[in-house]
Amino acid sequence: MFPNQFAYHRPTSVEEAVGLLQADPEAKILAGGHSLMPAMKLRLAAPSALVDLNRIDGLRGVSVNGGVRIGAMTTYRQLIDSAELRQRLPVVGEAAENVGDQQVQSRGTLGGSLAHADPASDFTAVMLALGGEVTAVGTGGQRTISADDLFVDLLTTSLQPDEVITEISIAALSGTIGAAYEKHRHPASGYAVVGVAAMLTLGADGTCQSARIAVTGATSKATRATAAEQALIGQLLEAETIGRAAAAVPQGLELNGDLYASEAYRSHLLTVYGRRVIQRAVERVRG
C-alpha cells in the first residue's frame, strides 16, 4: 500500500511551516507520522501536502526547572530516556514506555499525539491529569492552550489549521505530588481500551489538596473524571476514600462500547484502573 500523491515540504523554521500551512488548507503536519502515515496508506487521509517538522531545530528536548517543558517533537523514546523527567515526574516516562511498541516510541512525538487527539491515546489523559498546556504558533501569533481546552471531540482539538504546537509545559508544582497512569492495553493495537491518569497533591495536614483524574479510551475524547476528583479533595487518603473515588470515575461520562469492550465493561475497567492509579499516586505522594 502506498499513499496518494502529495507535495512534500521540509521547512527549517516554525514560521516557514506556518506559512506553508496557511498557503494550503489541505496540507497536514507530519510529526512522528505513526497515526498519519497508516491513515494515508489506507487512503483514509489524502492531504495535498505534508509539512514535515522533523528538520526544524529546537522542537525537541526536555527541560526541568521547577516546571517541565517538553519540545513538541520530542519522541516517546526521549521521554523514556530523560533522567530529569524520571526524577521529577516519572509518570511521563512510564506512560511513554507503554505507548505502541519500541518502533512507535522511536518516532512518535508528544506534540503529534496531542494534536491528533486520538480518543484512545495515552498522553491526552496524562496531560489532562498533569494540568499541562501547549504552546501553539500560527499566523495569529503565539498562544498557550491548557489541556482542558485543547481536546474538543473525537480527533478534534481547538488548534487552528495553521497552528503548530511547539512546546508542552507543566507548571511548577508546589509541595509533594504523586502521579500515575495505567491502561488496559488492547492486545492487538496497544491503544488504551481504557486508561486512567491521576495527579494528587497533599496538604500539610495530610489531606488531599488537589486531585486531577483523567480518562482515555473510554469516551470520544480524553476527559476529566470530576466526580472522582471531588471524592478525594479535602479527604484523608485512606482505603475507603480511594475506593469511593475509584467507583466514581465513570460517573457522568458518556462511555464508548465496541466489539472488544462494552460500555458496562469499560465502566468496570475504569473503576479498577481508577483504584490502581489513585493508589499508586497516593503511595508516591507519601514518598
Partner 1 sequence: MAETLTAPAKVAVRMTVNGTVYAAEVEPRLLLVHFLRDNLGLTGTHVACDTSQCGSCVVYLNGDSIKSCTLLAVQADGGQVTTIEGLAKEGTYDPVQQGFWEEHGLQCGYCTPGMIMSSHALLQRNPNPTEAEIRHALDGNLCRCTGYQNIVRAVQHAAGQIGGGGSTPQAASASSSQNA
Q: CB of 30: closest distance to partner 1 in angstroms? A: 8
Q: CB of 154: closest distance to partner 1 in angstroms? A: 20
Binding segment for partner 1 among 44-52, 66-74, 145-153, 260-268 (CB under 8 A)? 44-52
Q: CB of 29: closest distance to partner 1 in angstroms? A: 13
Question: Does residue 102 touch partner 1 according to CB under 8 A?
Answer: yes
Nearer to partner 1, 12 or 144 (CB): 12
- In sequence order, the 6+-apart residues with CB closer than 8 A to the CB of 105 are 75, 76, 77, 80, 96, 97, 99
- Total of residues contacting partner 1 (CB under 8 A): 38
Q: CB of 83: closest distance to partner 1 in angstroms? A: 14
Binding segment for partner 1 among 46-54, 132-140, 243-251, 276-284 (CB under 8 A)? 46-54
| Binding letters toward partner 1, positions 126-165, x by CB under 8 A | ----------------------------------------
Question: Does residue 33 touch partner 1 according to CB under 8 A?
Answer: yes
Q: Which of 28, 77, 275, 280 binds partner 1 (CB under 8 A)?
A: 77
Binding segment for partner 1 among 2-10, 110-118, 171-179, 228-236 (CB under 8 A)? 2-10
Residue 152, SS3?
strand
What 278-282 contacts at long range (C-beta under 8 Å, 24+ apart), as own/partner pairs, is: 278/180, 278/198, 278/200, 278/213, 278/228, 278/232, 278/242, 278/245, 278/246, 279/242, 280/178, 280/180, 280/182, 280/198, 281/178, 281/179, 281/180, 281/198, 281/199, 281/200, 282/178, 282/200, 282/237, 282/242
Q: Which of 67, 131, 138, 190 binds partner 1 (CB under 8 A)?
A: 190
d(CA 60, CA 209): 33
Question: Does residue 186 touch partner 1 according to CB under 8 A?
Answer: no
Question: Does residue 204 touch partner 1 according to CB under 8 A?
Answer: no
Residue 285, SS3?
helix
Compute and round to an integer the Cα radius of gyration of the chain: 19
Question: Does residue 37 touch partner 1 according to CB under 8 A?
Answer: yes
Q: Which of 22, 67, 86, 104 binds partner 1 (CB under 8 A)?
A: 104
d(CA 151, CA 127): 11
Question: Does residue 61 touch partner 1 according to CB under 8 A?
Answer: no
Is the dihedral angle over the CA atoms 143, 122, 94, 274 positive or is it negative? positive
Q: Which of 22, 63, 106, 176 binds partner 1 (CB under 8 A)?
A: 106
Q: Which helix (H) or strand (E) holds 180?
A: strand 177-185
Q: Which of 5, 25, 65, 205 binds partner 1 (CB under 8 A)?
A: 5
- What CA–CA distances, in Å, run from 245 to 112, 189, 208, 214, 280? 32, 29, 12, 13, 14
Q: CB of 78: closest distance to partner 1 in angstroms? A: 10
Angle at 281 (CA atoms; ends 276, 282), nearest 5 degrees: 100
Binding site for partner 1 (CB under 8 A): 1-13, 16, 20, 30, 33-34, 37-38, 41-42, 49-50, 52, 54-55, 77, 100-104, 106-107, 188-190
